[in-house]
Amino acid sequence: MAFRFRNFEVSVNSRKFINKVYEITRKFPQTEQFGLTAQLRRAALSIALNIAEGSDRGSDRDFNGFIQMAMGSVNEVVAALDIALDNSYMDKTAYDSILADAEIIIKQLSSLSRRLKSRLP
């Protein structure tokens, strides 16, 4: 396959996660359109985009750097979701569901990172 990132399950899951973030943020107050909504969406997009960009770098070391950035973006999304919950922009059921998805993605990214590190000289 010409696009290496498509071979990773975490890439598929991150796209589903992005769609879920977009769905949830559609219900946020209009006053958050350029604040929390935009930040959450950018952070979620960053997960998938870092996986894609890093997968085509010249080395596993470089790819792992992008995986680390993707992990940072997952943490950013979770922090923003905490704020959204605190402000009652979403209900606990939606929060728990998307948090479970975030945990799966972070575990997959961690596993991929370990695999990449194990192949380094």
Residue 6 lies in a domain: no
Domain of residue 28, residue span: 17-116
Read off the tokens for 58: 């010249």
Residue 107 lies in a domain: yes
Residue 50 lies in a domain: yes
Q: How far apart are CA 41 and CA 101, in angstroms?
A: 15
Residue 11 lies in a domain: no
Q: How many CA atoms lie within 13 A of 114 on its CB side?
A: 6
In order of 84, 88, 91, 95, the CA distances from 31 in angstroms are: 13, 14, 18, 20
Residue 39 lies in a domain: yes
- The pLDDT of residue 1 is 58
Q: How many CA atoms lie within 13 A of 44 on its CB side?
A: 27
Count structural domains, the chain.
1
Give the largest CA-CA distance in the chain.
51
In this structure, what is the dihedral angle of CA atoms 62, 68, 73, 74, given to the nearest 10 degrees?
130
Residue 8 lies in a domain: no
Residue 105 lies in a domain: yes
- pLDDT tens-place values along the chain, 121 residues long: 589 899 999 999 999 999 999 999 999 999 999 999 999 999 999 999 999 999 998 899 999 999 999 999 999 999 999 999 999 999 999 999 999 999 999 999 999 999 999 988 7
Instruction: Determine contact, residues 99/81, Cβ cutoff 8 Å.
Output: yes
- The pLDDT of residue 40 is 98
Instruction: Determine contact, residues 81/103, Cβ cutoff 8 Å.
Output: no
CATH code for the domain in which residue 110 is found: 1.20.1440.60
Q: How far apart are CA 68 and CA 81, in angstroms?
A: 20
